[in-house]
Amino acid sequence: MFRLIGRHFKEAFQGIFRHFSSSLNSITAVTVTLVLVSLLTLIIGNVSQITRSIEGEIKIFVTVEEEIEDEEIPALTRKIENVEGVSRAEFSNKDTELDKLIASFGEEGKLFEIYREDNPLHRAFIVSLKEGYIISDVAARLEKIDGLMEVNFGGISTEEFLKILNGVRQGGYVLVAALTLVAIFLIQNTINQTIFNRRLEISIMRQVGASNSYIRQPFVIEGIFIGIMGSVLPVLATIFGYKYVYEAVGGQLVSGMLALQPVNPFAYYVSAFLVAVGIIVGLIGSFLSVNKHLRWRR
């Protein structure tokens, strides 16, 4: 069995170097495709990171009516947390709200201590969301709850920005899938040419009793090798290129809220993904191509 496997690997290597020009075309096509896949994956990963950072900062500030007693606050908390899209509701009493106001003004904020005894501020809930781009929908639902007085959030512009980021992320997934299909098509064409050039050899193998699976395996292995070789340069470009960009911008865009994914492990995860895509693309492309030429069954 091991001898047979070794023979298939040997034939695959020979096939690559015997038809090196067509193999090189496939390797180049896979390399270019995977570079684009790498770029899109890096963008998608960082857009997801930025989206999560922004969503983590987005809160809805909801004030409580004065008529609501303190004993009613736990029940009101449960009502808010049961609203679709809400992940958590944190209650803040008047003293806490005054502390926040004082802290926001720094040293000058101490002037507001005079309101400690007769606090004019309202009790409030700070509501966290499951997804930031549904903020206006959640705000509309909160406005319908009895006992809540005013609902404030960052505004529709924040929501629209998150929707754009989410659209970029989803569009990236579609482009990665499309590029993968293109790579499969290119490898399939290369293997088609290789099989056409070796049709006499395949015909002789059939005449001496070789099964379809025996004929197929070297070509499939050849396609996998092409995929692996095509992933080498994209992997190196991903690791060193992303590290350079990350260090050049200090790991963030504009502010800490727009932080990039750290090089380790993100760049290495993307690299492993590229190798996996290369292997899958090579396997599927060669398998489809060989099956097209081996339609008869024993």
Domain shared by 93 and 127, yes or no: yes
- 174, 284: one domain: yes
Instruction: Indicate the residue among 129, 153, 177 that finishes a domain.
Output: 153
- Give the helix/strand (H/E) hosting 111: none
* One domain for residues 145 and 196: no
Query: What value, to the nearest 5°, has the Cα angle with vertex 146 and ends 142 and 147?
Result: 95
Of 96, 126, 153, the one marking the end of a domain is: 153
Q: Would you say the C-alpha torsion 275, 277, 281, 287 has a positive or negative sign? A: positive
Could you give the CA distance from residue 273 to residue 280 in angstroms, rounded to a whole number? Answer: 10
CA distance 63 to 95: 14
Q: Say if residue 8 is in the same domain as residue 124.
A: no
- φ, ψ of residue 121 in degrees (nearest 5): -75, 160
**What's the structural domain count of the chain?**
2
Peptide bond preceding 265 in cis form (omega within 30 of 0): yes
* Domain boundary, last residue among 111, 133, 153: 153
Do 72 and 107 lie in one domain? The reply is yes
Phi-psi category of residue 251: left, alpha or beta, with phi > 0 → left and psi -120 to 50 → alpha = left
Do 202 and 286 lie in one domain? The reply is yes
Supply angle C-alpha 101, 107, 108, rounded to 5.
65
Q: State the CATH number of the domain containing residue 111.
A: 3.30.70.3040
pLDDT per position as a tens digit, 250-289: 877 765 557 788 888 889 999 998 899 888 888 887 777 7
Does residue 298 belong to any structural domain of this protein?
Answer: no
Return the pLDDT at 153: 74
Q: Which domain holds residue 134?
A: 59-153
The string of pLDDT tens digits covering residues 17-41 is 665 666 777 788 888 888 888 888 8
Compare 119 and 269 and report the one with higher pLDDT. Answer: 269
